[in-house]
Amino acid sequence: MLIIPDPREEYSTQPNYAVLLDTRDRKAHKTYIPQEEIQVVTSTKIVNAQLEDYFELYDGAQYIMKPWMKEVIMSTTTKLTFVIDNGAYSAKSTFNNVDKPKIIPNCVMKSKFYPRRVFIGEQVITECPNKTSLYYQLPFQKGYLVDWNVQKSVWDHLFSKIPCKTTGLLITEPYMNMNFIRETMDQIFFEEYEFSSLARYDPASFSAYKYQNETKSNYVLVVDSGYSFTHIVPFYRGKKILEGIVRQLLVMNETYIINELKENVCFVSTDFNHDMKKARLPLSQNT
């Protein structure tokens, strides 16, 4: 363990300093960076040339610390949070201050042309020349996480360039999730990845929270049409009404076709009455 002297002892008039430790040669080389400049990790622009040695661009949208660096913040600052919508079909992830998420298939894939290679997420697009005869393994079955080996492979891929020890994690979970699944997730995130904090919520809770904050309405009805199920979830004053949750409303067995229809045709109406009037018009006038 490296014992770091509090930089405030050296910068008594400017307490908001961070310590960066360069450990590439197994020695600690301390660099003091003003806290307002260390916040570059929350932007897409390097504001201090001295920091270019310590950070790298993640997914074109977020600067993160390089693997051989360790950061110790000596004053209270806002922590980064990594957000994952961990769905049965796709995993959408981003940092809390980046609007556009990264979307990858939540599965591992193999090709008969490359039997020894496992493709994870976007690798099948960027690194697999022949995309015919692909077969894949999903971590979810009937809406619940059952294959931890597959899921952990996807998480390893997502977290490979994230400083987990100084980052919080916010992740979605299924409705009425089972306790043993929750306990296993907690164990993996804290003991293996060592995230600094963890929060788990079902998808409807996020939608309801945003809507209620914007409209100040006491009532919210969320329709969550996912890969495995469609849930209709009522909320009253921010509280989920468990007795009113409906699952699998008019959902047939054609999972792939229905999912393609949802992704390519459906949209969220911002003016329901107007869109319903438009839908009644002849085809040439309602598109």
List Cα–Cα distances, 66 to 57, 71, 175, 176, in angstroms.
Answer: 9, 10, 36, 38
Residue 17 lies in a domain: yes
My answer on whether 109 and 127 are in the same domain is yes
Tell me: do 95 and 57 sit in the same domain: no
Q: Could you tell me which residues come within 8 angstroms of residue 246 by beta carbon, excluding any fewer than 6 positions away?
A: 231, 232
**How far is the CA of 159 from the CAs of 2, 67, 84, 115, 198, in angstroms?**
24, 11, 11, 25, 14
51 shares a domain with 19:
yes
| Within a domain: 20 | yes
Out of 29, 50, 73, pick the residue that ends a domain.
73
Mean pLDDT, rounded, for 187-208: 92
Confidence of residue 19 (pLDDT cuts 50, 70, 90): very low
Looking at 73, 88, 117, which one is the last position of a domain?
A: 73
Domains in the chain: how many in total?
3
Which residue would you say has higher pLDDT here, 175 or 51?
A: 175
User: Which structural domain, as residue segments, surrounds residue 110?
Assistant: 80-201
Residue 206 lies in a domain: no
The whole-number pLDDT of residue 161 equals 85
Minimum mean pLDDT range among 125-139, 154-168, 211-225 = 125-139
**Is a pLDDT exceeding 60 seen at residue 40?**
no
pTM: 0.66
What does pLDDT average to over the chain? 76
